[in-house]
A and B are shown apart, each in its own frame.
Chain A
């Protein structure tokens, strides 16, 4: 089964831009790509969602290339409170089935 992969961890300093990429080679044709933030012992919190090209909201941007086999979450000017685990969520085609799959998660640590 194809996986949805992300870097295990990233470190950044306050005020920097952070880009986290998720690789999803077998993304289902009609599926959206969604990114979540999770703090310890809490449920994931929605950040942004997109289907193709670029999406921007008040907290992040999402870049999706034409082949949709990857996506990049961009967090502008991170702060200490952005330290969390970030997950992508996509539907992955597996034969004739579609399986909702969370990425492996990226632990972002923002340093002062």
Chain B
């Protein structure tokens, strides 16, 4: 099946700093990429949807100036958490889908801890 990678798998940063998370589709062209956040023992919450070459569409309640999403190519999307605070600590997961598929292929997730 299709493979999606994320980097880093975990990161610890200080409050007030910014962190970038990369999501790559390794063996297919991802026309759409999704970013999710998951708190402990909770379901995944969709943060934003991005199509290659266009601005991301953010879900209600997600600050677009705080969570910057770039989808510059068909294989790479990045999520930057700006001015991170401890409440941003979470598990961030990306997924990708191709042109002819309704299926989303998920990355392994990135554990962010803000101290």
Chain A facing B: main interface SS: strand
- Is A41 within 8 A of B109, CB to CB? yes
User: B111 — nearest CB in chain A belongs to which residue?
Assistant: A41
Kindly supply a per-residue 1/0 record for chain B positions 1-38, scoring 1 wherever the CB is within 8 Å of any chain A CB and 0 otherwise: 10010100000000000000000000000000010100
Residue of B34, B46, B91 near A41 (CB, 8 A) is B91
- Is B103 within 8 A of A105, CB to CB? no
Say whether B43 faces chain A, with CB atoms less than 8 Å apart: yes
The answer for the CA separation of A32 and B44 in the assembled complex, in Å, is 18
A selection of 23 A-B contacts at a CB cut-off of 8 Å is A34-B103, A34-B104, A36-B106, A41-B109, A41-B111, A42-B108, A42-B109, A43-B95, A43-B106, A43-B107, A43-B109, A46-B1, A46-B106, A49-B103, A87-B44, A89-B104, A99-B46, A99-B59, A101-B46, A102-B36, A102-B44, A104-B43, A105-B43
